[in-house]
Structures are given as structure tokens and as C-alpha cells.
Amino acid sequence: RPAIAVLTSGGDAPGMNAVVRAVVRTAIGAGADVFAVYEGLQGLVDGGQRIERFGWSSVGSVQHRGGTVIGTARSADFRTREGRRRAALHLLERGIDRLVVVGGDGSLTGTDVFRSEWPDLLDELVEAGEVPAEIAARHGHLVIAGVVGSIDNDMVGTDMTVGADTALHRIVDAIDALASTAASHQRSFVVEVMGRHCGYLALMSAIAGGADYVLIPENPPADGWEDEMCERLRAGRAAGRRESIVVVAEGATDRHGNPITSGHVRDVLAERLAEDVRVTILGHVQRGGAPSAYDRWMPTLLGHAAALEVVHAGPDHEPQLIGVRNNRVHRTPLMSAVERTRQIPGLIQAGDYRAAMAARGSSFTD
């Protein structure tokens, strides 16, 4: 019987529970033993009660809940070889050699390092007498599949990451709320949104929320952008617009790579437009709370596909990212998706903004 483990890692994202639920139930249906690892990759390093056998009802009533019910962490220990050696031991103790990891590109890369080291780690464990040779021989390969859980929608290889849709709804709700108070006072609001180095949440919320101006990392504004922004807002006021909203991605920079902060945008607007300007940093409220309908059904399909991927994989299986492309579940070699994602900052530095936007995938306007 194959034994698989599922874990959530990195920043939590609404919809992770739906992936876990689908992985557990699909794998059970396919005849596998299923384990959940608590607290992400750190749970693999710690072992013990952090790796728990799950049954069908272990994942009842979880898909409507925010965050991840099995916990997550950004594990420093897993970044060390000793940490990964302990992780291998804890998996082998339970006969697990198949993993579904739900996390961001850092967690998925770390898991792939673990996979490539797996045969050497096994040799070391056998030599040290910690694992019997016949057990190591039976589990000579680690099979992995990744599902991208991140509100940032920052990964090549999937049109949407799990959690991005919910975060976008949360931001648009906030912009709607701010617009009514802004309109009452004829104020300008600067809204700072998450996304790390990715402008998806900022761009899409600006479009959906009807903002006046947006600043995103993939399209750093040219010198003089402050004048252009003020001109746009002035024109809006002149046309009778009572509220002004500027959305700033937390990773926005200018063409010289200098960060554009929401505080700077506020100061520019206050000074040049002689207006009352307020800043709202939405923060972790964007990441919390119940998942949207999309972030329940889509992760369910992804979890189902990821479970089948690892249950049926042979020893020469190439790690796959299970994502969405054109509304269909889509497999992409995991490490090529990670590498293409990592090329995006270089494209921006080289001034190739169109390529950076295109690399983000079909969810971005080209």
C-alpha cells in the first residue's frame, strides 16, 4: 500500500484546507495510507505527533475554514541538511515516500532539494543504523507534487494560486468601504496591498475597485510618475469624482529599483493636491477569513489531481506542479515553474516589462 503525506507550508492561504481535504479523501479512495504533517516542513523535521494518520473524517468540516487547520511554518531547520535527514527518518519510520506539499515557491523548492538528496539521506540513515537496509531499499525514491498555496498569485505554471481569489475579494470589499468614506469627505486614499514581489492583487483590485492609479512591481513607473498620478487625480476631481483611490503594491518600485511606499504616495498627493490624504495598509486581513467559493472548488480539484499524481507515480516520476490553466487542472514540471518564476525580477531589471507581465500568466493583462 502506498503511504502519502500532505502538508501546508509558508504563509497560510484560504483554500489550503480544501486541498488537504481532497488529498486525504482521494488518496484513501485510491487505497493509500494517508498522513497529515502539522506545522509544515517543520513538522517533518520534528516527527512524533506532528505526523498523524488521517482518515476520511479527519478532514470533515474544514473546507469553509480560513487558514490551514494542520498549521504551517517557515522552517529554518528544514533548510539545513541535518533537518532534512531527520525529516527523511520520520517519513521512513511510517513507510511514507510520497508527499503533496501545498505552499509557495520557497517551500516547493525546499521539498525538491529534499527529493534530490533522498537517496543519500537514506544511505546515511542506514549506515548510522537508524533505518534497516531493507526499508531503505523499499523506499528508494521520494515522489512529490506541489500545489501553490499563496494569496500572491506569484507563480508561473498556474493561472491562479490557492487563496488569491479570496484575498482579492477581501481587498475589493475594503476599497468599496473606503470609497464611501472617501467620497463623503472628498478625500484621497492610498491603499497598500500585499503580494510581495507580485502586483496581481494590486492590479486586479484597482481594476475591480475602480481606482484612479495603481503602482505594481512588474511595471515600474518612469521618472515623473508623481506628476502624472496627480494629473489623473486632478482630472477626476474636475470631472466631479468625489473619491480618489491609489492602490500601491507592497513590492512596488520606481524604474531605478527604489521602493515606492504608501507613505511617499500620501506625501506627494497631500503636498501637490493640497488634499486630506489617508493611508490604509490592509495587512494580514487580506490573508485571513473564509475562502471564496472559487477557493473551495478549485483547490478541491487540485488536491484530487495531486493525490492521484503521487499515488500512481513510478520511481522515475518527475515532480509536478498541479495548477490551473484555462480553467482546467494542468501539470507542469515543478522546477521549471520555479525557475521561470525566479526569472521575473531579472526581466523587470532589464526593463522588459511586457515579458514580466506575460510570464505572470494569463491572469495578467498583457
Binding site for ligand F6P (CB under 6 A): 11, 104, 150-152, 194-196, 250, 287
Nearest-angstrom CA–CA distance, 285 and 96: 36
Q: Which of 152, 154, 159, 295 is catalytic?
A: 152
152 is catalytic: yes
Find all residues with CB under 8 Å of 41, minimum gap 6, and list them.
Answer: 7, 9, 73, 75, 78, 87, 101, 107, 110, 111
Q: In the complex, what is the shortest distance from the CB of residue 341 to ligand F6P, in angstroms, rounded to a whole number? A: 13
Q: In the complex, what is the shortest distance from the CB of residue 193 to ligand F6P, in angstroms, rounded to a whole number? A: 8
When the beta carbons of 96 and 162 are compared against ligand F6P, the nearer one is: 162
Closest to 170 measured CA to CA, from 248, 75, 330, 286: 286
When the beta carbons of 152 and 165 are compared against ligand F6P, the nearer one is: 152
When the beta carbons of 250 and 295 are compared against ligand F6P, the nearer one is: 250
Cβ count near 64 (within 10 Å) = 12
Identify the residue whose cell numbers are 498583457.
Answer: 366
Q: In the complex, what is the shortest distance from the CB of residue 200 to ligand F6P, in angstroms, rounded to a whole number? A: 10
Q: In the complex, what is the shortest distance from the CB of residue 208 to ligand F6P, in angstroms, rounded to a whole number? A: 18
When the beta carbons of 150 and 244 are compared against ligand F6P, the nearer one is: 150
Active site residues: 152
